[in-house]
Amino acid sequence: MGLVESGKIPKPLTKLLNMSRRYSMWVYQWGLACCAIEMGAAFASPRYDVMRLGVIPLPASPRQADFLVVSGTVTDKMAPAVRRLWEQMPDPKYVISMGSCANCGGPYWDSYSVTKGVDQVIPVDVYVPGCPPRPEALLEGIVLLQERIMNEDMAERWKGDPIVVE
């Protein structure tokens, strides 16, 4: 994609590319705690069926994934592994933080072993609140992420600068 790398994409082409990216996303699910079961209900159950949104669960490895769902409590012992697998994902990559624990620590806000929010380790695009959020809430979060991808300026996103967490 020479056009993309040079940063000069005509607007209609951006729209087309964004639309195709939006409806063909592999999701890497990082099931950690209670939310993992609700995520399983959203991804693997016939009632909620995430595939109708154009999202494909269960990639073989994070290297194939387009976005990551961190569902559950991230502990200080687990945080390096979260960071490591996020680093293995190819750009452009997105992160959904699911549930209070991943958002801010949740009911363990004063615990000695829990990381208070996964956004201290990796950048987060969409926060889904709830303890645990219902599967519908996760689907809503995915739709919000898709809208965000649709309105994205690809030249800005793919300039080649690495994403830095401050």
Rounded Cα distance, 60 and 21, in Å: 19
Residues recorded for the chain: 166
Chain positions contacting other proteins, by CB under 8 A: 30-34, 36-38, 40-41, 44-47, 72-73, 75-81, 83-85, 107-108, 110-114, 120-121, 131-132, 134, 165-166
Phi, psi at residue 34, to the nearest 5°?
-50, -40
Contact 79, 85 (CB under 8 A): no
Question: How far separated are the first and last CA of the chain, in Å rounded?
Answer: 30
Closer residue to other proteins, CB minimum distance, 34 or 104: 34
Q: Tell me the closest approach of the beta carbon of residue 148 to other proteins, in angstroms.
A: 24
Closer residue to other proteins, CB minimum distance, 4 or 33: 33
Closer residue to other proteins, CB minimum distance, 3 or 41: 41
Q: Tell me the closest approach of the beta carbon of residue 23 to other proteins, in angstroms.
A: 23
Closer residue to other proteins, CB minimum distance, 8 or 77: 77
Q: Tell me the closest approach of the beta carbon of residue 1 to other proteins, in angstroms.
A: 32
Q: Tell me the closest approach of the beta carbon of residue 161 to other proteins, in angstroms.
A: 19
Q: Tell me the closest approach of the beta carbon of residue 145 to other proteins, in angstroms.
A: 21
Closer residue to other proteins, CB minimum distance, 9 or 42: 42
